[in-house]
Amino acid sequence: MPVQESTLPPPPKKNEGILKFGKQQQQAPDISGITEDVSSLSRRLRLLEEGFTNLRRFFQVTEQNVIAKNKHFSAEIKTINSDIMEIRKEMQEIRDKLMLVIRELQTVARKEEVKVLEKYINLWNPIRFVTQNEVEQIINEVLEKKQQ
């Protein structure tokens, strides 16, 4: 495969890359590129520091919000637990009262028993009964009639 000239590096210049000993005229280093690099790095560093500061603030606010929400939820949970305990007590009271009603209903007369009583009442017909005062009054009236 033939080698193309464009891919080969250019040949070194005459004084380039060779160590030289002795007195030579020193050239002033090009510091304009270095100052640009330093100022660019300084700007980048300031931006990074500002980003980290913003992240710290964000995390601090987030942490404070989490703590506040945690306190709020803890209070809510306590309230809910107390409500649940109150509801349990009320349910127990309702159970007790229901058991009392059931016991009372067991002692109440049944329909058949009431029918039997109704038959006896109709048979005796207590409306026609008289009181002791009425009997005494009737006797007195009969005695008065006989005496006359």
Based on the number of CB atoms within 10 Å of its own CB, is 42 exposed (0-12), middle (13-18) or buried (19 or more)? Answer: exposed
The whole-model pTM stands at: 0.47
Q: Where are the domains of the chain?
A: 35-108, 109-148
Residue 3 pLDDT > 80, yes or no? Answer: no
Q: For position 130, what pLDDT does the model report?
A: 79
Rounded Cα distance, 143 and 137, in Å: 10
Q: What is the mean pLDDT of residues 47-59?
A: 97
Q: For position 5, what pLDDT does the model report?
A: 47
Residue predicted with more confidence, 90 or 129: 90
For the chain, helix, strand, coil in percent to 5 are: 75, 0, 25
Rounded Cα distance, 51 and 40, in Å: 16
Structure token digits, residue 128: 């026609």
Rounded Cα distance, 28 and 32, in Å: 11
Rounded Cα distance, 59 and 65, in Å: 10
Q: For position 1, what pLDDT does the model report?
A: 44
